[in-house]
Chain A
């Protein structure tokens, strides 16, 4: 059974700091991994989808890395801004059923002005 863990559960940083969010998964036989952002009471916004054949994926100030062998992914946010405050979730497909995503519990990020 795939289990996804995100550490830390909450993170508070001053504006301008570079930061790393961590995601680990127990079954390394994944095809891809997706990072989402969720603002309070809102839906999920897809940030990055990284394929198992990729080691990194970048979008603006965001960079996601994937190390299948160690069962880890990181989301790097450069020069954080108050608008980055949200909960960040990672998700991987569950087993061979591509439709099912297993989500981590999320990291709640607060960027202070």
Chain B
């Protein structure tokens, strides 16, 4: 089963709200990723977790807070977002990470976030 699931599919939140995005995979993968994708643009990497530890933070504002409770779950906590944070947020997973190359990355369907 090469499936990554994400909830919710759509989220509308105000700038003062706190919400969370969830991602789950049951492929035994040990690396999980958050990407942000704006319309007509390719995905941009935000965070990488390897063996449940944060290994990469691409200078993402602190209003985005990732969490990896276990090897199958990845959360993205949102607080005090701005309208420009509206985007499609994609989760991905891979077997692992290694220097110089990548294992095949599998993406979830995404959460469409609108900040009002």
State the A residues within 8 Å of B (CB): 30-32, 34, 36, 41-46, 49, 52, 89, 91, 93, 96-101, 103-106
Inter-chain residue pair count (beta carbon < 8 A): 71
Interchain residue pairs with CB less than 8 A apart (18): A31-B101, A31-B102, A43-B107, A44-B90, A44-B92, A49-B104, A89-B42, A91-B42, A98-B103, A99-B56, A100-B45, A100-B48, A101-B45, A101-B102, A101-B105, A103-B42, A105-B41, A105-B42
Given that A105-B41, A106-B42 are contacting pairs, would A96 and B104 also be in contact in the complex, using a CB cutoff of 8 Å? no
User: Interface with A: B11-19, B75-83, B108-116, which one?
Assistant: B108-116
Q: How far is the CA of A49 from the CA of B33 in the complex (A)?
A: 18
- In the bound complex, residues from chain B placing their C-beta under 8 Å from that of A46 are 2, 104-107
Interface of A is mostly: strand
- B33–A99 CB distance below 8 A: yes
**Whose C-beta in chain A lies nearest to the C-beta of B48?**
A99
Is the pair A93, B107 in contact by a Cβ cutoff of 8 Å?
A: no
B107, A104: Cβ atoms closer than 8 Å: no
A54 → chain B closest CB, angstroms: 13
Q: Give CA–CA (A44, B6) in the complex, Å.
A: 13
In the bound assembly, the distance between CA atoms of A105 and B106 in angstroms comes to: 19
Q: SS class of chain B's interface: helix, strand, loop or mixed?
A: strand
How many of chain B's residues have a CB under 8 angstroms from any CB in A?
Answer: 31
Contact of B100 among A49, A93, A105, A106 (CB under 8 A): A93
A101 to B103, CA, bound (A): 11
B55 within 8 A of A: yes
* CB within 8 Å of A: which B13-51 residues: 31, 33, 41-43, 45, 48, 50
Bound-state Cα–Cα, A96 to B99, Å:
5
- A52 vs B100: C-alpha distance when bound (angstroms): 11
B74 at interface, CB cutoff 8 A: no
Q: How far is the CA of A17 from the CA of B19 in the complex (A)?
A: 46
Judging by beta carbons under 8 Å apart, are B108 and A43 in contact? yes
In angstroms, Cα B104 to Cα A61, docked, is 20
The residues of A that contact B100 with a CB separation of less than 8 Å are 31, 93, 96, 98
